[in-house]
Every structure is written in structure tokens, then in C-alpha cells.
Amino acid sequence: MFPVARAALNLTARGIQHTAVRQAHRKYEPNFHDKYGNLVLLGGATVFTAVWGYVLTQAGIEWGLSPVGRITPKEWRE
């Protein structure tokens, strides 16, 4: 390797090592997902279930019925 490239890689590696050492001594603080992740997941699942429960039971949609034989053409009016 060229001396310049070797020096650049050494500086990069040294920077990563310093960052890792600095972060290893930090106190762990919970982030948003640690605090509220399960609550948000349960809320989304509840809303999803409620909306689809309404659609399947109350919306009056006829599911999976074929229109073949039910649709008849109307007379053309001029």
C-alpha cells in the first residue's frame, strides 16, 4: 500500500476506536422505541382490527360473488 493510503486508513481506524471507547462509557438511555414501541404496535393493531372488522361486517360489501349471469344489458335510448 502507499504510505498516504496507509496513514489515511490508520486515522480512520483510530477515529472509530476512539468513538467506540467514548460510547462504551456512556450511560444507556432508552430511546423512543424502547419507551413506546410496544404501545404504538398495540395501538396500530387495534386500529387495524377495528377498521377491518367494520368493513367486513357493516359496510354491506358482497364478497366474492361473480356478476356473471346477473348483469343484463339495458335497452339503448337515443
Residue 1 has pLDDT above 60, yes or no: no
Between CA 13 and CA 2 the distance in angstroms is: 17
Between CA 21 and CA 9 the distance in angstroms is: 18
CATH code at 1-56: 4.10.51
The answer to whether the beta carbons of residues 55 and 61 sit under 8 Å apart is yes
Average pLDDT of span 39-55:
94
Domain boundaries, the chain: 1-56
Average pLDDT of span 22-44:
84
Model-wide pTM > 0.95:
no
Between CA 37 and CA 33 the distance in angstroms is: 4
